[in-house]
Chain A
Amino acid sequence: MRTVRLYFRLLGAHFRSLLEYEADFLILAAATVLMQVVNIVFLAALFAKVPALNGWTFWSVLMMFGAVALAEGVGSLFFDGMWSLAWQINRGQLDYFLVRPYPVALQSSSAAIGINGLSNIIMGAIMIGTALAHVDVAWTPWLALLGVVLLISSVVIKVSINLATNAVSFWLASPTPMFAFAMHQVGDLARFPLTIYPLALKAALGVVLPFAFIGFFPIAFLLDTGQSRWIGLLTPLVAAYCAGAAILIFKRGLRRYESAGN
C-alpha cells in the first residue's frame, strides 16, 4: 500500500511541473486525439465498403483499436519513465535509485509522466464503450466481471512488454530505447485481427511478444468471433507470465548495471 501511495506522489511531482506548460499539454493532448480520430475515420471508410474482415466487423475492430489505445495510454500516463530507462542507464542515473529504499523499476517508471496517455485512455475508453453498445453480447454478471479481468490483464501485458523491451537497454548500452521503440511499433500490427497475417507474424505477435493478447484474443472471446475463442481466456495467465518475465529481465539487467562513475 505504501509502495502505491509513494508511486503516486512521485508521479504527482511530475504532474505539477507539467501543468506549468499549459499550451504544450493542450498540443500533445490534441495531437493524440487527432491520431485516434484519423484511425476511426480510416476504419469507418474501410468498413463502409467492406462488411467484415475475416469475420470481424467495424465495431469489433474499433474495439481492438480502443483496447490498444487504452493499454498504451495507461503505459504513458503512469509508466512513461520506462522509456527513459536507456538514458538513465547510459548516464548512470540509476546510482541515485539504487540507494533509495524503493523498487528501482518503479522509481524508473515514475520518472516521467506522458500526459498524452490521458487522452489515449479517454479515446480508448470511448472506442471500447461505443463498440460494446453496438455489438450483441449476452451479458451476465460473471461475463462482465470476466471482461474487467481481461481488460486489466491486457493493460498489464502492454506495460510488461514495455518494461521488458526497455530493460534490454541494460545489454544494449545505447542512450535511446531503439529496440523497445521498434517493438512498440510492431505492436501496432496487433490492432488488426491476427488471422490476416502470415504464420510467422502470427507466432511473433501471439507467442514471442504477445501483443495479440492486448486486444485480439480477449475480444475474440468476448464477442464470440472467429475460431479458437477459448484462447482469450488465457489472457490473465499471459499477463502473469509477461509481468513475471519482465521483472526477471529487469532484475537480471540490473545486475549488469555499472555506474557511469563520477
Chain B
Amino acid sequence: MRSYRALIRATARAALAYRLNLLLGLGAVLVQLIALLAVWQVILAQSPVNGFTWPQMRAYLLVAFAAGTVVSLMGDFRMAFRILDGDVALDLVKPIDYQRARFAEAIGGLWIEVVLIAVVVGVTLALTGGVDVPAGPGLALFIASMLLLVPLKFLIVYVSTLACFWTQNFMGVQWARLAVVNLFSGALIPLAFLPGWLATTAQWSPFAGLTSTPALIFLGRVDPGHGLVLVGVQLAWVLALWFGARLVWQAALRRLTVNGG
C-alpha cells in the first residue's frame, strides 16, 4: 500500500509538469461545453424541451464537463508510449501491481483537475446564473456517483489503452473511444433525446455512469430509489471492468515482445 501512496504523491507533484497534456485534453471538453451551452440557451429560451429547462440543462452540461475533465490527466498517452516502446518491461519488473499503480497515478492527478473544474464551473455560474443543488439524499447519491466515476473512467481508459498491445495506432483507438463515450455517456446530448433502443443500450452500458447517471441524479430527474439502482449499475461496472481488465492484461502480456537493448 505504501508504494501506491508514494505513486499518488509523485503524480500529484508532477501534475503541473504535464499541464500541456491537461490543457489539450481540457480544450475539447471546454469547447464542447461552450458550444452546447450556446445551443441550448437559444433553444430553451422559448420553451422546455423533453422536460429540460434552461437552468436544468446548464447544470447537466456542467456536470458533463466535470465528468469529462476528471481523470484526463492520467497520462494514457504515457502508458501507451511505454507499451509501444517496450518500456513497459521496466514496469513489469517492479514489485507492484501494474493496474493498481496506474490507478494510483490517476488519483494523484485528480487535484489539479478538480481545481480546473471549480474555476470553469465558477466562471460559468457567474456569467449565466446559479444552479439548484439537490436535497439531502439526492446530494449524497450524486457524490457517491461522482466518486464511482473516477474508477469507472479510469478503467475504460485503461482497457482501451491496453489495445496498444495489439495495434500501433493509439490515436485511432483513442478517437474511437472518445466518440463512443461522448454519445453513450450522454455528454453530447442527454440519453432521453436518443431513440428508445439506443437510449436503453446506452443506459445499461458502462458509459452512462460517465455523465448521465450523476447528471440525472443532480437534476433530481430520477427519484432516490431509481437513482440507487443507477449508482448500483455504476458500481457493478466498476467491479466487472476491474476484473475484466486483469483478463485483458494477462492476454496482452502473452503478446508482449520486447526487443533487448
Contact = CB atoms under 8 A, between A and B. Distances in A.
Interface of A: 21, 23-24, 27-28, 30-32, 34-35, 37-38, 41-42, 45-46, 48-50, 53-54, 116, 176, 178, 181-182, 185-186, 188-189, 191-192, 196-198, 201
B205 interface: no
Contacts of A38: 179-180, 182-183, 188
B124 interface: no
A122 B109 CA distance: 39
B28 A185 contact: yes
Contact of A54 (B27, B34, B35, B42): B42
A191 B32 CA distance: 11
A213 to B, nearest CB: 18
Main secondary structure of the interface of B (DSSP, over half): helix
B176 A34 contact: yes
Given A38-B179, A46-B193, A196 B31 contact: no
Contacts of B188: 38, 42
A19 B27 CA distance: 32
Contacts of B42: 53-54, 196
A35 B175 contact: yes
Contacts of B229: none
Given A50-B43, A189-B31, A192-B38, A45 B172 contact: no
Given A28-B172, A42-B183, A178-B23, A197 B194 contact: no
Contact of B27 (A21, A182, A197): A182
Interface stretch (B86-94, B99-107, B163-171, B215-223): B163-171
A176 B169 CA distance: 19
A34 B183 CA distance: 11
Interface in B20-67: 20, 23-24, 27-28, 31-32, 34-35, 38-39, 41-43, 49-50
8 contacts: A28-B175, A31-B175, A41-B194, A42-B183, A53-B39, A189-B34, A192-B39, A196-B38
A67 to B, nearest CB: 16
The 9 closest A-B pairs by CB, nearest first: A27-B172, A31-B175, A24-B169, A28-B172, A31-B176, A31-B172, A196-B38, A185-B27, A45-B193
B168 A21 contact: yes
Interface string B143-174: 00000000000000000000000011101110
B168 A24 contact: yes
B189 interface: yes
B24 A178 contact: yes
Given A38-B179, A189-B35, A50 B173 contact: no
Given A45-B189, A186-B31, A196-B41, 8 more contacts: A21-B168, A23-B169, A27-B176, A31-B176, A34-B175, A176-B20, A191-B35, A196-B42
A34 B167 contact: no
B193 A48 contact: yes
Nearest to B43: A50
Contacts of A46: 39, 189, 193
B221 to A, nearest CB: 16
A42 B64 CA distance: 15
Given A34-B176, A178-B20, A28 B35 contact: no
Nearest to B169: A24
B49 A50 contact: yes
Contacts of B193: 45-46, 48-49
Contacts of A30: 172, 176
A53 B28 contact: no
A53 B36 CA distance: 12
Given A46-B189, A196-B39, A27 B169 contact: yes
Most buried by B among A28, A30, A201: A28
A192 B249 CA distance: 42
A186 B180 CA distance: 21
Contacts of A201: 34, 38
Nearest to A178: B20
B176 A188 contact: no
A199 to B, nearest CB: 12
Contacts of B175: 28, 31-32, 34-35, 116
Contacts of B38: 192, 196-198, 201
A234 to B, nearest CB: 24
Contact of A42 (B167, B180, B189): B189
A48 B198 CA distance: 14
Contacts of A24: 167-169, 172
